């Protein structure tokens, strides 16, 4: 068995164990394989072993990879998630090529994605990125501004607002990892209580997926634990 396939099985086991420990059904939790910095061959290998959802951070790298995966394995039907920061000069390429965008934190970016989404592709799925650790340098909307942004985006015709996403400050202690994820869960519930139909809580990465699942994550974004250590970060 290849390392990627063995790693995917190990991650699936971590998800199942984390879900079981809080009496959740693991089927509620989507594994997003984050393939940034890894080639089309790695994506095809994971996909042939049953993985369907892939996350990418860099537009140009992603679009080239999608074309290469289509050449390598035209039979595979994959779902592509853009999880990096969205620059306004990249919105058209993102709207044309991706199924999901996880890091929307401004009306202007959302409006461009909606305007530029080809209608033949159906609505573009959106998560709002929340600045849950309150770090000045990090992107994401502040929690107290999330409801207003969600309401504006929910009105945009070519977007489907699915939920919230966060990248909390890195933290190795599992108990401390839970605090920002708990605040995310509370915000998610508060927005749902206002009648908005959110179904996705995108949180948890290789180092903290257990804490995220304990606090209700419905989608975990896993790179290193599947593909290995990245050689470079742009």
Ligand X SMILES: *Cc1c(COP(=O)(O)O)cnc(C)c1O
Q: Which residues bind ligand X (CB under 6 A)?
A: 34, 36, 57, 83, 167, 205-207, 221-225
Please report how close the Cβ of residue 34 comes to ligand X at its closest, in angstroms.
4
Please report how close the Cβ of residue 46 comes to ligand X at its closest, in angstroms.
14
Rank residues 87 and 224 by Cβ distance to ligand X and give the closer one.
224
Rank residues 53 and 222 by Cβ distance to ligand X and give the closer one.
222
Cα separations (Å) of 104 from 17, 65, 174, 231?
A: 31, 23, 27, 27
Report the residue closest to ligand X, judged by CB: 223
Centre a 10 Å sphere on the Cβ of residue 230 and count the other Cβ atoms it contains: 13
Rank residues 115 and 171 by Cβ distance to ligand X and give the closer one.
171
Please report how close the Cβ of residue 37 comes to ligand X at its closest, in angstroms.
8
Please report how close the Cβ of residue 203 comes to ligand X at its closest, in angstroms.
9
Please report how close the Cβ of residue 229 comes to ligand X at its closest, in angstroms.
8
Please report how close the Cβ of residue 228 comes to ligand X at its closest, in angstroms.
9
Rank residues 99 and 115 by Cβ distance to ligand X and give the closer one.
99
Rank residues 113 and 205 by Cβ distance to ligand X and give the closer one.
205
Rank residues 161 and 166 by Cβ distance to ligand X and give the closer one.
166
């Amino acid at each position: 068995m290849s390392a990627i396939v063995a790693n995917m099985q190990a991650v699936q086991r971590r998800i199942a164990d984390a879900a079981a420990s809080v009496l959740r059904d693991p089927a509620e939790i989507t594994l997003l394989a984050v393939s940034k910095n890894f080639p089309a061959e790695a994506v095809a290998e994971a996909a042939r072993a049953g993985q369907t959802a892939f996350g990418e951070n860099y537009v140009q790298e992603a679009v080239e990879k999608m074309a290469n995966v289509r050449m390598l394995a035209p039979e595979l039907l994959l779902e592509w998630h853009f999880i990096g920061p969205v620059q306004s000069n990249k919105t058209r390429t993102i709207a044309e090529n991706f199924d999901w965008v996880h890091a929307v934190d401004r009306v202007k970016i959302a409006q461009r994605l909606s305007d530029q989404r080809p209608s033949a592709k159906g609505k573009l799925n959106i998560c709002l990125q929340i600045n849950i650790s309150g770090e000045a340098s990090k992107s994401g909307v502040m929690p107290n501004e999330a409801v207003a942004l969600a309401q504006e985006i929910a009105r945009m015709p070519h977007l489907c607002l699915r939920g919230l996403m966060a990248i909390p400050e890195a933290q190795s202690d599992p108990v401390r990892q839970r605090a920002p994820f708990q605040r995310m869960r509370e915000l998610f519930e508060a927005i749902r209580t206002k009648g908005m139909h959110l179904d996705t809580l995108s949180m948890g990465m290789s180092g903290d997926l257990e804490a995220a699942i304990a606090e209700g994550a419905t989608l975990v974004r896993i790179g290193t634990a599947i593909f290995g250590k990245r050689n470079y970060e742009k």
